[in-house]
Amino acid sequence: MSEVCERKDVVASESGKFAALREPVVRMRVINRVAILTLNRPAAINALSHEMIRELATQLEHCRTDGGIVAVVLQGAGKRGFCAGGDVHALHGMRQRNEDGWQQFLIDEYRLSYAAHTFPKPVVALLDGATIGGGMALGQAARLRVVTERTKMAMPETGIGVLPDVGAKRFLCKLPVEVELYVGLTGVVLTGAEALHFQLADVCVPSEWLGSFEERLLRIATTNVSADELMNSLRTVFEPPCNIVPYAGLGPFTQFIDRHFDRRACVDRIVGTLHRDLERESRREVRQWLQATYDAMTSSSPTMLCVTREAILRGRQMTLAECLRMELGVATRAIGEGDFSEGVRAYLIEKDRKPRWVPGTLAEIRPERVRHFLSSPWRMNSHPLADLA
């Protein structure tokens, strides 16, 4: 398929008459043999509903098997961001109503992540604006990750009582372990420049440059070219001729990240050293970093901080499939019996920012509780992702 195509779904009213035209949740067009998949829930910053997850999985499978498509571009509709992650409000609602559908929602999202990370053709992700949680996981599957001055990238799941998931343990393990622990435990929001600095992006461009990429896409060769030639051509589409590496504000704090997020330090010790240095430090910028990091740690679920640290260390020796199986088990336990519902209530629904975590402090967390969350709810042969290689 090589021509440009779009479709709209028609929603019928109860009377049988056509009441409105509803935009598809994932739009697909093909330009010069490159499929452009657009996440299309701009009012929700393209948060992944279950419908979107299934539709995107279907479109990716079509792109994988269609010989007329040589590459894929992922982007988000609207000006607010690429993707705000999985639809946490929907998950929370299903859990509160004791609907079984929330588990299938997770399973399908994890399968989508696996399909994206193992996709055989070049994928470009335009990570402009908010790129959060599952959105970050989807973007990290791309071979060319494009960020801008508007990018806000984060895995903030510990703040709502779950762990950075959907393959996070696999793509974050490319970072030094201290940086991975920092990003995974604190949910720090990275700018485009900082994502580039920490190797979570490949190129940082002005956001307006992306507005005209389709015109440039028409001018590259996509027929009878090698995989390397195609990738180089795609890079010319998204990288300006005079690219300037931007300043990464967190760059100077790498030494503090290394000091506080030592892999041998338990979460309690990390929080303790942050507090100790905060009391001693006099430099304003360093104090600001220490305070923000300390606040992030002390406002998150104590259980999930400890579980996340252990999962990060385990994940560095795992394959993608093994990470997804481990993360799905933890997420299932966190939503089914952990702090998820309380975290969503406190930070996203009532927004009182006063979560009642159980247990409420790091001192109360026992090793057996951490082991419980990391233990699979399923036997290996009955795991929903058992077939992933």
Q: b or e along 215-240 (b: 16 or more beta carbons within 10 Å of the residue's beta carbon)?
A: eebeebebeeeeeeebeebbbebbbe
CATH architecture for segment(s) 251-389: Alpha-Beta Complex (3.90)
Q: What share of the chain is helix, strand, coil (3-state, %, to 5)?
A: 50, 15, 35
For the residues 243-262, what does the mean pLDDT come to?
88
Question: What is the pLDDT, as a whole number, of residue 8?
Answer: 36
4, pLDDT greater than 60:
no
Q: Are 99 and 61 in contact (CB under 8 A)?
A: no
pLDDT tens per residue across span 153-178: 999 999 999 999 999 999 999 999 99
Q: What's the chain's average pLDDT?
A: 93
**Lowest mean pLDDT, pick from 6-10, 28-32, 257-261:** 6-10
pLDDT tens per residue across span 209-235: 999 999 999 999 999 999 999 999 999
**Cα-based angle 52, 137, 229 (whole degrees, multiple of 5):** 95
Confidence of residue 19 (pLDDT cuts 50, 70, 90): very low
Helix (H) or strand (E) holding 75: strand 71-76
17, pLDDT greater than 80:
no
Q: b or e along 330-343 (b: 16 or more beta carbons within 10 Å of the residue's beta carbon)?
A: bbbbbbeebbbbbb
For the residues 42-57, what does the mean pLDDT come to?
98
Confidence of residue 244 (pLDDT cuts 50, 70, 90): low
Confidence of residue 31 (pLDDT cuts 50, 70, 90): very high
For the residues 267-272, what does the mean pLDDT come to?
98
Q: At what angle do helices 284-299 and 267-280 cross, to 10 degrees?
A: 150
Question: What is the pLDDT, as a whole number, of residue 243?
Answer: 65
91, pLDDT greater than 60:
yes
Distance from chain centroid for Cα 337: 23
User: For residue 101, how many other CB atoms are within 10 A of its CB?
Assistant: 14
For the residues 252-280, what does the mean pLDDT come to?
96
Question: What is the pLDDT, as a whole number, of residue 380?
Answer: 84
1, pLDDT greater than 60:
no
Phi/psi for 19 (5° steps) reads -90, -35
- Percent of the chain having pLDDT more than 90? 90
Distance from chain centroid for Cα 346: 21
Distance from chain centroid for Cα 86: 9
116, pLDDT greater than 50:
yes
Question: What is the pLDDT, as a whole number, of residue 241?
Answer: 83
Question: What is the pLDDT, as a whole number, of residue 16?
Answer: 42
What fold characterizes domain 1-154+199-247? Answer: 2-enoyl-CoA Hydratase; Chain A, domain 1 (3.90.226)
Question: Nearest Cα to 153, choosing from 303, 171, 143?
Answer: 171
Say how far apart CA 117 and CA 58 lie, in whole Å: 15
Say how far apart CA 314 and CA 347 lie, in whole Å: 29
Structure tokens at 273: 């050293």
For the residues 39-63, what does the mean pLDDT come to?
98
Question: What is the pLDDT, as a whole number, of residue 342?
Answer: 97
Question: What is the pLDDT, as a whole number, of residue 57?
Answer: 98
The residue ranges of every structural domain in the chain are 1-154+199-247, 251-389
Q: Are 320 and 110 in contact (CB under 8 A)?
A: no
pLDDT tens per residue across span 342-388: 999 999 999 999 999 999 999 999 999 999 999 999 998 999 999 99
Q: Tell me whether the CATH fold assigned to 1-154+199-247 matches the one assigned to 251-389.
A: yes
What order do you get walking across the sheet with 130-132 strand by strand?
A: 81-83, 130-132, 152-154, 190-191
